[in-house]
Amino acid sequence: MQRTTIAAFALFAVAAVALAGPLNPPAGPIAPTNKTLSEVEPRIAINSTNAPGDGDSRYIIAASGSYYLPFNVSIVGQSAIHIGANARDVTIDLMGHTISCSILSTAISAAPSALSRTVTIRNGSIRSAGGIGTPSGIALADISGVVVEDIRVEGTLFGIITGNDASIRRCDIRSIQTLTVDAAGIEVGSGSIVEDCRVVDIAGSGINPGIRTGSSSVVRDCVITQATGGERGIDAGSGGIVERNVIRCGHDITPFTGIDSGGASIIRGNLIIATASATVTGITATTGTTIQSNTFSACDTGISLGGSSDCLVTGNHFRLSTTPVSAVNVNSHIIGPTIGSGGAAASNNPHANYVQ
């Protein structure tokens, strides 16, 4: 019994030494890594030393580079971060910090420039209590190719506004009170992509869509809820794609349109839901638009084609809609047969539109 115990202890000791590594460190002094601070953290901190501001802006980025915000910022009556005209390529990482705005402030802005340039902003929050002098969120309307990722904006005059060729991903925009202007939660120029975003409660005077795009843009996999006002969910330019979005109207303040699209577009796989007594039109489209596989719940009019022509309308599902499809020039469109479904489908036609 004693021999077994001694043998087991010896085996444990050998195993412990093997797992722990050598007991003696290698010979010689500990060598430095020879890395400077800029090599350890190659980005530039946004502070009064690296980005000194002026009366209009707390911090001004004057040169191209990759920047990060090392702390929360509160501002009144100025921009928190302003990108100068000569800063051609700029990346800003908010590092999870919050820019708090009040009274005529702008969280992130940029000077107009003749240079071709790019701006990327990611990973943080912009907040305001709203009210008189409501500040603005990200104001980059004069810059093309902007990328905004993982940003939350709440309570400002508008959420995110950019120029053409923008990419907006995984952003959360809510409680935008537009007051005297027709602003959107997210507004981008032509050739842009907005995806995986959530927009809640864009209210005030004007149309106030959750998302507005220029021509040849894509909006997909977004969730838009309008419960305190707003006349549109998505206001899309011509020649684009609007797909797989969920749009909900929960107010009775003004007539509401889920998706209003320009011509020659594709609108497919969206869900538009009315949960209040506002007059709701699911989709309004113009000439040459393809509208397929959308679901409408309690919309007064599912699809309104107005006086347009050459639209394709197939495979849609209308539930509790007074008028599934409204069109002045019915014979100029291709519209799948309307089938009332009660139990088994009454048609094998793959292009049929079903009404319940």
Number of domains the chain contains: 1
- Cα 5 to Cα 2, 11, 16, 18: the distances in Å are 5, 10, 16, 20
Residue 13's H or E segment, with its range, is helix 2-20
* Structural domain contains residue 272: yes
What CATH number did the domain enclosing 170 receive? 2.160.20
Residue-wise pLDDT tens for the chain (356 aa)? 444 444 444 444 444 444 445 556 666 666 665 555 554 567 999 999 999 999 999 999 999 999 999 999 999 989 999 999 999 999 999 999 999 988 778 899 999 888 888 999 999 999 987 655 567 899 999 999 999 999 999 988 889 999 999 999 999 999 887 665 677 899 999 999 999 999 999 887 778 899 999 999 999 999 999 988 888 999 999 999 999 999 999 988 889 999 999 999 999 999 999 998 889 999 999 999 999 999 999 999 999 999 999 999 999 999 988 899 999 988 899 999 888 865 555 556 778 898 98
Domain that holds residue 336: 158-355
- The per-residue pLDDT for 117 is 87
110 in any annotated domain: no
- Whether 31 maps to a domain, the answer reads no
Structural domain includes residue 3: no
Which pLDDT score, from 0 to 100, does residue 89 have? 94
The pLDDT value given to residue 133: 54
pLDDT at residue 9, rounded to an integer: 45
Distances (CA, A) of 53 to 62, 76, 117: 10, 14, 21
**Would you say residue 50 lies in a domain?**
no
Instruction: Give residue 356's pLDDT.
Output: 85
Residue 2 pLDDT: 46
Residue with tokens 């010979």: 27
**115 occurs within a structural domain:** no
Does any domain span residue 37?
A: no
Structure tokens at 219: 């909006």
- Contact residues for 251 (Cβ-Cβ < 8 A; gap 6+): 226, 227, 228, 229, 230, 276, 278
Asked if residue 159 lies in contact with residue 131, where contact means CB atoms within 8 angstroms, the answer is no
- For residue 26, what pLDDT is reported? 62
3-state secondary structure of 98: strand
- Tell me what pLDDT residue 19 has: 46
